[in-house]
Structure 1
Amino acid sequence: MSKSECAVFTNMCMLFDDAGRILVQDRKSKDWPGLTFPGGKVEKNESFVTSVIREVKEETGLTITNPQLCGIKQFQDKKDARYVVLFYKATAYTGELESS
């Protein structure tokens, strides 16, 4: 029995400000529609923190600093790969919000 398996690492980040406003995306994708937080896949040789900063920048135009890990979820996809989702939260950011 093998002790290794295929795993895909992903992230999501809840961005919020001092007024309690939370940034969400309204996805129009047929594969995964609805409200979600910005995020995506961790690239090969990329750290988890670097990946969430990059994904938020790509999807929102905002550069977050000091993202805090606040949860982890895992599930198996239909091809039997394990997906690991790292959930972050952040309150510090710079830039102008852009629609993706």
Structure 2
Amino acid sequence: MTYSRSEHIEMVNMCMVYNPETQEVIVEDKTDVDWKFGHTFPGGHVEKGESLSDAIIREVYEETGITVSNLEMCGTVEWNSDDPAYRRIGFLYRTSSFSGEITEHPIDKEGKVFWMKLADLNRENTADSFMEMLEIFTNPTVVDATSPVMNGSLTLQNAKNTKLV
């Protein structure tokens, strides 16, 4: 029996830009999505031939006007699709190293961007599955989340590959 280990993959990213002095994060109010509108962190697609780190630096700048550095990868999130068959893999980063001010960018038509207290993020004001992703950004023992369907609910896993409720 032979099978292919290849599959179509869409690579995306997201970054939690955190200001430890104010305990705020940069959020974007997503208004151009197929899922529930709400707060999320800046991010987007990794372009063909682009490195993961270059992609997240570019995406954060395009959406916010902020330049980030000293990125720390905190985990991944994956959604799967059978029709058509492919996987979307999200690479999640965080940083407290940034420069610049939030500006309106003509490239960004995805929603308003602003600073918000990290503690004020909740299920009611965030995009679908964002609170599960927030666990990956803020809890060092949670490293992965997966869904068997595209844009579906996520199941968290810790570093020991134990599923978390």
Whether 1:88 aligns to 2:90 is: no
Q: 1:29 aligns with which of 18, 28, 32?
A: 32
TM-score normalised by length of structure 2: 0.57
1:97 alignment partner in structure 2: 102
Query: Where does structure 2 lack aligned partners over 5 or more consecutive residues?
Result: 109-165
Identity %: 38
Deviations 1:33-88, CA, capped at 9 Å, x for gaps: 21111000101111101100000000000000111100101111452210000000
User: What is the aligned partner in structure 2 of residue 43 from structure 1?
Assistant: 47
Q: Look up the equivalent residue of 2:74 and give its one-letter code.
A: C
TM-score (norm 1): 0.92
Runs of 4+ in 1 over 3 A off after TM superposition: none
Aligned to 1:44, what secondary structure does the other structure show?
Answer: coil
Range moving further from structure 2, 14-23 or 73-82? 73-82
Unpaired segments of 5 or more residues in structure 1? none
TM-aligned CA deviation for residue 22 of structure 1: 1.1
Task: Decide whether the 8 Å contact of 2:12 with 2:43 is kept in 1.
Answer: yes
Aligned residues: 100
- Of structures 1 and 2, the one with the larger relative CO (CA 8 A, separation 6+) is 1
Q: Which whole-Å CA distance do the structure 2 matches of 1:4 and 1:45 have between them?
A: 18
Query: What do you get for the CA RMSD once the two structures are aligned?
Result: 1.3
Further displaced range: 55-64 or 73-82: 73-82
Q: Does 1:60 align with 2:60?
A: no
Q: CA–CA distance in 1 between the matches of 2:57 and 2:12?
A: 12
Q: Which residue of 2 aligns with 1:12?
A: 14
Larger Rg: 2
Q: Equivalent residue of 1:56, what SS?
A: helix
